[in-house]
A and B are shown apart, each in its own frame.
Chain A
Amino acid sequence: MTQATEVLLPTSAAEAVALFGDGSGVTIVAGGTIVLPEITHGRIAPTRALMLSGAGLDTLDAEGSTVTIGAALPVARLAELAQDVEALAQCALGVADYEIRRQGTVGGNVCAGAGRDAPRGDLQGPLLALDASARSIGPDGETTEPVADFLGHRAGRLLLDLSFEKPAASAFAAIEYPHTHEYTVLAVTGVRTAGGEVRLAATSLADHGTRLPSAEAAAGDPDAAGAAAVADVKLGDDALASAWYRERTLPVLVRRVLSKLEEAR
């Protein structure tokens, strides 16, 4: 079994940032649910592994109007946001299974690279629809930027936390199978802000989740929004579903989310 030659075990966020440095040659291990199989099956051989388990990045602050989620927060703990952000809690409770949700982290889920056989990054959709800010460290230092921008260059960066304003309403819809699946076939999240703006995002697409601007522009008419959404996404084939199938189910999920948002008025 391949072992990292150097394992870094920071005991604070500041120490994690210092040890990460410019990120060169560093493999981040948070929950371990994605990285450990890569090591076990010989697909990666880290030379420097930064383990975040003791770094204190597993925080959740939802006291005021802003929610801040530490990158190493276990996915299962997002269930605590059920009252404030129903869509995010519902999405989190659909990730994998009881054990994986307790071990896998929000940051790992958001930062995961495209899967080989199935899409990853379930939480990207809700966070995109919430227009979350991502605070991260990279070769250029610390940056806070919209999660949509962060996703475009997430490889090689250390995510510290994500924050967003609590929405007026949120809704989530996913293709559900009657048995457990590691990854979601396709999911759509909708958010209505306090100001009345409707934002939509989809996950389980090629590479990473994305906002659905054409569907948002037509949000007043769910059928038109559903049809428009297809133009906003890059759909892929994988072991779970074909692009053909996803193209036909995306409008259905958009319509469901918009009707749920309407019901929440």
Chain B
Amino acid sequence: MKLTVNGTPREIEGAPLTTLLHVLREELGVTSPKAGCEQGGCGACTVLVDGEPQRACLTPVGAIDGSEVTTVEGLGAPESLSALQQAFTHHYAAQCGFCTSGMLMAAEAYIARGGTDDREAIQEALAGHVCRCTGYVKIIDAVAAAARGDAFDLTVTAAGTAMTNLGGVS
């Protein structure tokens, strides 16, 4: 079987019923999709399969032979974050970070299919994603900002508000 993972063609050795999550993390070393509940309920393993968000833990790799898979590693790099990643950074949309990869991939697809900054529509798009830090307000703020195309100066974000939020550490 073959997959194109973040733009790179990969030969897959796992059996067809192996989950995509297992293939990504254990066979290919792509670790942004998280193994949370491993029964489809938490959303932390969500990746894009041919551009649409899908639970890697529920997907037998044999069912997506030949597909393109995109994970957070394919969105941006630390020195060149994607617009959505910048919005998550600016709006402090990650706390412990465990749900963040899945949130990012679902939100990326939401915006790609023309999603707006309507908060109810964002909630519906992210309904399958659980944040146990309960940081939903910031996450929705970030997705709404990215959907609007807001621009951010992250040097100001990091030096200013972030430190304030950490208790004034400078």
The number of chain A residues touching the other chain, given as a range, is 20 to 34
Interface locus among B17-25, B83-91, B144-152, B159-167: B17-25
- B contact residues around A100 at 8 Å (CB): 40, 55, 58, 128
A182 & B59 in contact (Cβ 8 Å cutoff)? no
Which residues on A sit within 8 Å (CB–CB) of B128?
96-100, 180
B21 to chain A, nearest CB (A): 9
CB contact list, A33-55 vs B, under 8 A = 33, 36-37, 39-41, 46, 49, 51, 53-54
Determine the residue in chain A with the shortest Cβ distance to B14.
A3
Of listed B39, B52, B54, residue having the most chain A CB within 10 A: B39
Q: Is the CB of B17 within 8 A of A29?
A: yes
Q: Is the CB–CB distance between A98 and B125 below 8 Å?
A: yes
Question: Is the beta-carbon distance between B106 and A36 smaller than 8 angstroms?
Answer: no
Contact with B along A18-42 (1 / 0, CB 8 A): 0000000000010111001101110
For B, the interface residue count at a CB cutoff of 8 angstroms equals: 29
Cβ-defined contact, A36 with B60, below 8 A: yes
Are A40's CB and B60's CB within 8 A?
no
A201–B46 Cα distance when bound, in Å, is 35
Measured between beta carbons, the chain B residues less than 8 angstroms from A180 are 127-128
Smallest Cβ distance from B71 to chain A, in angstroms?
Answer: 15
- Chain A residue at minimal CB-CB distance from B15: A3
Please pick, from B16, B53, B60, B62, the residue contacting A99 in the complex, using a CB distance under 8 A.
B53
Q: Which residue in A37, A51, A96 is a CB contact (below 8 Å) of B63?
A: A51
Please state if A4 and B15 are interface contacts (CB–CB under 8 Å): yes
Residues of B within 8 A of A49 (CB): 16-17
Find out whether the CB atom of B41 lies under 8 angstroms from the CB atom of A182: yes
Does residue B153 face the partner (Cβ distance < 8 Å to A)?
no
Decide: A7 and B16 in contact? CB cutoff 8 A. Answer: yes
- Cα distance A41–B40 when bound, in Å? 12
A29 & B38 in contact (Cβ 8 Å cutoff): no
Query: Within 8 Å of chain B (Cβ to Cβ): is A102?
Result: yes
B13 lies within 8 A of chain A by Cβ = no
Q: Judging by beta carbons under 8 Å apart, are A98 and B53 in contact?
A: yes
Alpha-carbon distance A40/B36, docked complex (angstroms): 12
Given A99-B106, A102-B54: A32 in contact with B59 (beta carbons within 8 A): yes
Choose from A29, A54, A97 the contact partner of B127 (Cβ within 8 Å): A97
A9 sits at the interface (CB 8 A): yes
Q: Mark B1-45, 1 if CB is under 8 A from A, else 0.
A: 000000000000001111100100000000000000011110100
Report the Cα distance A64→B15, complex, angstroms: 42
Q: Complex: how many Å from CA A37 to CA B57?
A: 8
**Are B62 and A7 closer than 8 Å at their CB atoms?**
yes
Which residues of B have CB within 8 Å of A102?
52, 54
Partner of A32, one of B43, B46, B60, B125: B60
Residues of B within 8 A of A (CB): 15-19, 22, 38-41, 43, 46, 52-55, 57-60, 62-64, 106, 124-125, 127-129
Between-chain CB contacts (< 8 Å), 21 pairs: A1-B22, A3-B17, A3-B18, A4-B17, A7-B15, A7-B62, A29-B17, A29-B63, A32-B59, A32-B60, A36-B17, A36-B19, A36-B60, A37-B40, A39-B17, A41-B38, A96-B128, A97-B127, A97-B128, A98-B106, A103-B55
Known A-B contacts: A46-B17, A100-B40, A100-B55. Give 19 more (CB < 8 A). Answer: A7-B62, A9-B16, A36-B57, A37-B40, A39-B17, A40-B57, A41-B38, A49-B16, A51-B63, A53-B60, A53-B62, A53-B64, A96-B40, A98-B53, A98-B128, A99-B54, A100-B128, A103-B58, A180-B128
Which 3 residue pairs spanning A and B have beta carbons closest together?
Answer: A97-B128, A37-B39, A53-B63
